[in-house]
Amino acid sequence: MKKKDTQYADKLQTETIQELISAAIRARKNSYSPYSHYQVGAALLTADGQIIMGCNIENAAYGPSNCAERTAFFKALSEGNREFLAIAVVGSPEGEVLTQYAYPCGVCRQVMMEFCNPEMFQIIVAQSTEDYRVLTLGQLLPEGFGPENLSPQRND
């Protein structure tokens, strides 16, 4: 599939999408994945235009491992960012060119739900800067549980 797959793709310029994908590809090179040998890179776009990169970081105990998407989010949050527009994610087995779309896992989708508007936040999965899909968080996590679920209901 080439370029945009959804109506939400128009919200980001093609140039911005391609810049995010390129950053995710660069981030993938830093992957520490000696166990799965599956390298993932992510590039998170903040509301003020910063691009925060992350890669997957594995651990022999597995549980302490961290996905590329969460690495990017945690880096951004630790630097004071709280508003996000999009994330690009790339991944494939070690030593291979990008041969598949790497969708965020359920834990990463839940982290995104904590900080992003599910109808507006865009997730770009790519095999190259020309071959990508754009979806919203709401499309990947329908009926997600977020902070608003914990807000008291008001009967005005």
Strand runs labelled E in 9-147: 38-46, 51-55, 84-93, 122-126, 132-136
- Tell me if 53 sits within 8 A of 27, measured CB to CB: yes
Q: Catalytic residue among 19, 69, 119, 130, which?
A: 69
148 is catalytic: no
148 by Cβ neighbours in 10 Å (0-12 / 13-18 / 19+) ranks as exposed
Cα torsion angle, 5, 56, 128, 17, sign: positive
Indicate which residues carry an active-site annotation.
Answer: 69
